[in-house]
Amino acid sequence: MCGIVGFAGTREAAPVLIDGLRRLEYRGYDSAGVAVSDGAAINVAKVKGYVKNLSDMTHDGADIRGRIGVGHTRWATHGAPNDVNAHPHMSSDGRFAVVHNGIIENYALLRQELTKNGYTFASDTDTEVVAHLLEMYYDGDARRAVMKAASRLEGSYSLGVICADGRLFAVREQSPLILGLGVGENYFASDVAALVPHTKNVIYLDDGEFAELTPDAITVYDVRGRAVEKPVSKVAWDVEAAEKGGYEHFMLKEIMEQPACFKATVEPRIKDGRIEFENFDLTDEELHDINRIIITACGSAGYAGQVGRYVIEELCRVPVSVELASELRYRNPIIDRHTLLVVISQSGETADTIAALRECKARGARVLAIVNVVGSTIAKLADHVIYTWAGPEIAVATTKGYTTQAAVLDMLAIWLADRLGLMEKERYDALVEALHAMPGQIQRAIDLNRGIHRLAKKLCKYNDIYFIGRNLDYAVCMEGALKLKEISYIFAEAYAAGELKHGTIALVEQGSLVVTLACYEPLFDKTMSNIEEVKARGAEVLAVALEGNRKILSKADDVIFVPRTDPLFNPIAQIVPLQLFAYYVAKERGCDIDKPKNLAKSVTVE
């Protein structure tokens, strides 16, 4: 939820830290701060609001001197977003400064204990206990203090700690933290986006590990303080991938990248016309042992799962349910070794999804993760991983993350149906051919809707928007509505079109906009009847239909056309103009598109 960075080098730390925070700002933007050490004392600057406020306040970091430091950009959990609760937090003696991502679950008890011992608290945060614990355990050895303090913490945390004498530490427990190896300087960050301007050589810390960084070396320790050898990995993408590249917003850039991301995700997995996954295969026995599939995820990843459910059930005739991870984790689910659990996550760090994964794995499920971030917690915990090769996704509202997840689910369905002996060769070949064509179709979905900003200008006045559709169209409605609400703050909700008359239609009246997805042709006429029903109650209708469909023109007030693909892949082409529509509506309404209020990119706390 928050972003943390650390730097040890021979140049000034603050400008490097602030640049890193800018690159992590998608993780939270309630406040920002840095603490640097000049070898004798710690200098801190922190302020409510965007990283820009911090940068303005410190003249881009020039005002705070020191060559070792930590930085933080906050998504508030404990304590209001203000200057005092902003990180870093200091120990009372000024010896330690701490930044933290995650939640210290036992902070209330620790705070009580520390208060009894005479420590006073300046903030309402859970993090401040760490600074005082460090002071309490310091006996001349900062490393020992870090280890002892960490051993008292429960919950999820990645911590950055500096000591006034110039020592720098990073600690990881159930919260992402990556170390970067430079030349004469070293770094850590919550995400590689802050590391790639400096280095592509990284070390993924595991839970329970901590590290000390100096300009010349990184030493990693296990929970008992024994040095451990860690492999060095190479980050596959470069700095441009995490920058806007001339676009006004990351979201627009990421929408436009979708043809390329789809291709990067799909093409390497098709060899001689056959689908093969590099890290996922099952024996025939294992395959036939599976009697149900549960897909679990949060938000858009769950909505990609809804698309996957229709496609897998259609092709594989295996029962599939899609479960919200936040519910599944507490539901005492009926799961055993015959269950294939498909876990979907762009970040690979979503707390609820991780908890649901652990819960189901403990009950015997085989776990397949569909993840975008290499080395993330979900990727590590799963039995098998299929990566989406979407590249870094910075905008809080996911776009290319969602379409590449849907792409992997489509491939998985075809692969599974084939392995189960349920697919004729002709159909298999046709679907693989259709997959190859999809990057072009996604591009066409963009090109057909170059004028969508005009539609957005006309329709941005609506405050209640209903998305309706049937079958795969309904699955897309869920994501279309979420895109709109999260960035434009318009009330938007998805309903199965056939369900409307069981209650929700009571809300439809003049002044309602009903976005009707009408691409699922077997039920097209039924969806047309739903259009009649809402129009009869005064609603305006914006339809999404397949190119060449003339019938829709007489029914809907406005139409977004999308190219014809294989019907199973329609959702991917359909969502693209809906992403663009949400983007331009939000822009018309003057919203901060890449940093929507109350949200953060990756929800690493419960």
Q: Which residues are catalytic?
A: 2, 601
**Residue 11: Cβ within 10 Å count:** 11
Report the SS3 class of residue 307.
helix
Which of 158, 346, 530, 574 binds ligand AGP (CB under 6 A)? It is 346
Which of 193, 602, 604, 605 binds ligand AGP (CB under 6 A)? It is 602
| Distance, CA of 361 to CA of 351 (rounded, Å) | 15
Q: Angle at Cα 190 formed by Cα 579 and Cα 105, nearest 5°?
A: 100
Q: Smaller CB distance to ligand AGP: residue 301 or 435?
A: 301
**Residue 231: Cβ within 10 Å count:** 7
Shortest Cβ 398–ligand AGP spacing (Å): 4
Which of 77, 127, 350, 574 binds ligand AGP (CB under 6 A)? It is 350
**Residue 248: Cβ within 10 Å count:** 12
Q: Smaller CB distance to ligand AGP: residue 185 or 486?
A: 486
- Give the DSSP H or E segment for 328: helix 325-328
Shortest Cβ 464–ligand AGP spacing (Å): 21
Task: Render the burial of 404-438: b for 16+ CB within 10 Å, e for the rest.
Answer: bbbbbbbbbbbbbbbbbeebeeeebeebbebbeeb
Among the listed ranges 63-71, 84-92, 117-125, 344-352, the one in contact with ligand AGP (CB under 6 A) is: 344-352
Which of 298, 335, 379, 545 binds ligand AGP (CB under 6 A)? It is 298
Q: Are 330 and 323 in contact (CB under 8 A)?
A: no
- Give the DSSP H or E segment for 470: none
Strand pairing category for 513-517 and 540-546: parallel
Which of 326, 347, 443, 512 binds ligand AGP (CB under 6 A)? It is 347
Shortest Cβ 246–ligand AGP spacing (Å): 23
Contact between 33 and ligand AGP per CB under 6 A: no
**DSSP annotation of 566:** -
Report the SS3 class of residue 386.
strand
| Distance, CA of 597 to CA of 592 (rounded, Å) | 8
Which of 123, 156, 296, 300 binds ligand AGP (CB under 6 A)? It is 300
| Distance, CA of 505 to CA of 455 (rounded, Å) | 24
Q: Smaller CB distance to ligand AGP: residue 482 or 543?
A: 482
Report the SS3 class of residue 562.
strand
| Distance, CA of 323 to CA of 305 (rounded, Å) | 9
Shortest Cβ 266–ligand AGP spacing (Å): 19
Contact between 25 and ligand AGP per CB under 6 A: no
Contact between 398 and ligand AGP per CB under 6 A: yes
- Give the DSSP H or E segment for 533: helix 524-536
129 HSE (CA, 13 A, CB side): 25
Shortest Cβ 510–ligand AGP spacing (Å): 31
Among the listed ranges 128-136, 292-300, 326-334, 530-538, the one in contact with ligand AGP (CB under 6 A) is: 292-300
Contact between 397 and ligand AGP per CB under 6 A: yes
Q: Smaller CB distance to ligand AGP: residue 352 or 418?
A: 352
Among the listed ranges 230-238, 294-302, 359-367, 444-452, the one in contact with ligand AGP (CB under 6 A) is: 294-302
Q: Are 432 and 270 in contact (CB under 8 A)?
A: yes
The alpha carbon dihedral of 301, 457, 492, 489 has a sign of positive
Q: Smaller CB distance to ligand AGP: residue 371 or 416?
A: 371
Report the SS3 class of residue 493.
strand
Q: Are 4 and 72 in contact (CB under 8 A)?
A: yes
| Distance, CA of 408 to CA of 469 (rounded, Å) | 23
Among the listed ranges 117-125, 257-265, 329-337, 392-400, the one in contact with ligand AGP (CB under 6 A) is: 392-400
**Residue 133: Cβ within 10 Å count:** 26
Q: Smaller CB distance to ligand AGP: residue 300 or 512?
A: 300
Contact between 126 and ligand AGP per CB under 6 A: no
Contact between 345 and ligand AGP per CB under 6 A: yes
Contact between 235 and ligand AGP per CB under 6 A: no
Contact between 175 and ligand AGP per CB under 6 A: no
Reference 52, options 18, 100, 88; nearest CA is 18
Q: Smaller CB distance to ligand AGP: residue 128 or 594?
A: 594
Contact between 299 and ligand AGP per CB under 6 A: yes
Contact between 388 and ligand AGP per CB under 6 A: no
Contact between 528 and ligand AGP per CB under 6 A: no
Tokens of 7: 């730097």
Among the listed ranges 210-218, 326-334, 395-403, 536-544, the one in contact with ligand AGP (CB under 6 A) is: 395-403
Q: Which of residues 486-525 bind ligand AGP (CB under 6 A)?
A: 486
Contact between 396 and ligand AGP per CB under 6 A: yes
Tokens of 168: 């720098």
Reference 582, options 518, 490, 493; nearest CA is 490
The alpha carbon dihedral of 271, 275, 281, 283 has a sign of negative
Which of 328, 603, 604, 605 binds ligand AGP (CB under 6 A)? It is 603
Q: Smaller CB distance to ligand AGP: residue 486 or 594?
A: 486
Among the listed ranges 65-73, 345-353, 468-476, 571-579, the one in contact with ligand AGP (CB under 6 A) is: 345-353
Which of 55, 190, 353, 565 binds ligand AGP (CB under 6 A)? It is 353
Among the listed ranges 37-45, 339-347, 412-420, 427-435, the one in contact with ligand AGP (CB under 6 A) is: 339-347
Contact between 220 and ligand AGP per CB under 6 A: no
Rule CB under 6 A: which residues touch ligand AGP? 298-301, 345-347, 350, 353, 396-398, 486, 602-603
